[in-house]
Amino acid sequence: MRHDSLVSLACHHSSCSLCVSSMCITSSMTGDYTSSASPAQLQVKWDKTDEKPAVVAITTAAFVGVWALSGVVDRIDKLPVIGGLLELVGLVVTSWFVYRYLVFGPDR
């Protein structure tokens, strides 16, 4: 699908490249645009990859890391005091960020 035809289907604004749930994204990209990679395209990219063992190792390590981190967060959340304390810390940091950068920021 051509990028220009995607613009005309997704958005009625003349200045944006893509609208996603009322948020316009501008881009200077020209050429073909595909929303997802086909298996043939993935096969071509895989064949061009020189470091196949490294790609497999990094992908496996990422999945194992996310799985382990999920277990750690789940265990911490089950502790009665720590879960509530972390929620309080999250609220304080979020409030500080909003106050400092969004409400009274120097660039506002």
pLDDT tens readout for residues 10-40: 445 555 555 544 455 554 455 555 456 788 8
Integer CA distances (angstroms), 83 to 3, 75, 93, in order: 46, 9, 15
Percent of the chain at pLDDT exceeding 90: 30
Across 74-95, average pLDDT:
88
Across 56-79, average pLDDT:
93
6-15, 48-57, 63-72: range with highest mean pLDDT: 63-72
**Is residue 86 within 8 Å of 94, Cβ to Cβ?**
no
| Backbone angles phi and psi of 21, in degrees to 5 | 45, 60
70 residue type, one letter: S
Integer CA distances (angstroms), 30 to 45, 75, 88, in order: 21, 48, 47
pLDDT tops 70 at residue 1: no
pTM (two decimals): 0.43
DSSP notation for 4-71: HHHHHHH---SS-SEEETTEEE-----SB--SS--HHHHHHHHHH-S-HHHHHHHHHHHHHHHHHHHH
